[in-house]
Structure 1
């Protein structure tokens, strides 16, 4: 039985995917795991490389999108395909060190309350350009003031969560940036952990600061609306449906 699924959303990461998968295997050693690579419309050799690795290791799986749907779509497809009850994600560009994965799946596997739904990484010592870090700082500050979600870095790709809890969230494009707020909206506990960050060794970023700003504000307002409209009461069983009626 698979106890852990690692989902990697990728697009044109042929130079990074091999070393990343190798690092994930080391980080998950001793666990019954699978690695699901979601190829989000790559036009390079990413899928061919993954298929070559699959031939050597049956724990590696490939899900392909015919055209690019974005990171949230890739995470959603990977989670739907996952066989494990616990799912961890990390970016396919190699900037999320796979050795940080135990910080994510460990708390979920040892949770005795049944209430921990999400363990979210927060990057320390980011290895990005100054403009990218300033843009993220502004976006995270605005999001925190509106949503009060308690985290300083929702853009970090390192996340671990219960599969059924994630699939119960409202799905929309860019939802991966609002997961702490969405999990709390549904009554789940959220744990925040500091994680390290690496410089990109190959390839190019798929996002620009302008693109992030363009989609960020409508998404933020939509999530704020979802939180305000969340279900606040539970439906009680009708009278007479309780045990002890004597009609068994």
Structure 2
């Protein structure tokens, strides 16, 4: 049976989490409603993450990796994943495991009818400052994009790969994935998932880069929306 879903896991200095990631992803793969595999994207980690990833992927066909020459950021890591995926569906989860891979099974039933399915983090286990900044940022994005999504930053998503590959990614655009699917006339839906406290490693985001960056990115999105090329071929003979 061929793989149907590839789960992208961007990694930047997550050595303390990776063995737990392996265990949780193996647990999901055994129960997955579509045959699934994992693609680590090492984003220029400066700790021992790459060596751990190599050991995880050794002699395990369900796990593979690509590794950057330096740190580029989350959006480039996701784009690299999209570029290398060959399965019909592509998923995305953070290496901090504040969301559970098992919840992909809550998203997968929608995969045949929607081009993007995203989780909504229920009962978030983050600090008051982090929750507030995310709530403000989501409100700003909804105002600009009208995507109707309550938690676009949720790091648990599934996309149809052919739509994911057509997204013109730029830094910060990982927050606009639902809106970019809408630009392609795709359908999107959200569903509640569990959220957990970070138990190891350090967050790569803080109050200001959750607000200032996303706010300026909204203007980039508006420009792209105005200039975006979208067409549908009715007939062809090639």
Deviation at 1:58, TM superposition (A): 2.0
Unaligned residue ranges in structure 1 (runs of 5+): 243-248
Name the counterpart of 1:201: 199
Q: State the alpha-carbon separation in 1 of the partners of residues 51 and 230 from structure 2.
A: 48
Q: State the alpha-carbon separation in 2 of the partners of residues 232 and 35 from structure 1.
A: 31
SS at match of 1:187: coil
Go from structure 1 to structure 2 and tell me whether the alpha carbon gap of 1:204 and 1:232 turns closer, same or farther (over 3 Å shift).
Answer: closer
CA deviations on 1:4-41 (whole Å, 9 max, x unpaired) are: 10110110111111111211221222543221111101
Name the counterpart of 2:159: 161
Matched, 1:83 2:86: yes
Go from structure 1 to structure 2 and tell me whether the alpha carbon gap of 1:59 and 1:236 turns closer, same or farther (over 3 Å shift).
Answer: closer
Go from structure 1 to structure 2 and tell me whether the alpha carbon gap of 1:168 and 1:20 turns closer, same or farther (over 3 Å shift).
Answer: same
Q: Among residues 85, 106, 110, which one is paired with 1:107 in the alignment?
A: 110
Segment drifting more, 2-11 vs 19-28: 19-28
Q: State the alpha-carbon separation in 2 of the partners of residues 103 and 58 from structure 1.
A: 25
Output aligned runs, 1:29-68, within 5 Å.
29=30, 31-68=34-71
Alignment RMSD, CA only?
1.9
SS at match of 1:28: helix
Q: Which has the higher Rg, Structure 1 or Structure 2?
A: 1
SS at match of 2:115: strand
TM-score, normalising length: structure 2: 0.92
TM-score, normalising length: structure 1: 0.88
Segment drifting more, 21-30 vs 79-88: 21-30
Name the counterpart of 2:15: 14
Segment drifting more, 128-137 vs 215-224: 215-224
Q: State the alpha-carbon separation in 1 of the partners of residues 22 and 129 from structure 2.
A: 30
Q: State the alpha-carbon separation in 2 of the partners of residues 117 and 32 from structure 1.
A: 18
Q: State the alpha-carbon separation in 1 of the partners of residues 230 and 200 from structure 2.
A: 47
Q: Number of aligned pairs? A: 234
Deviation at 1:218, TM superposition (A): 1.7
SS at match of 1:14: coil
Q: State the alpha-carbon separation in 2 of the partners of residues 43 and 6 from structure 1.
A: 23
CA deviations on 1:70-90 (whole Å, 9 max, x unpaired) are: 111111111222231101100
Deviation at 1:193, TM superposition (A): 0.9
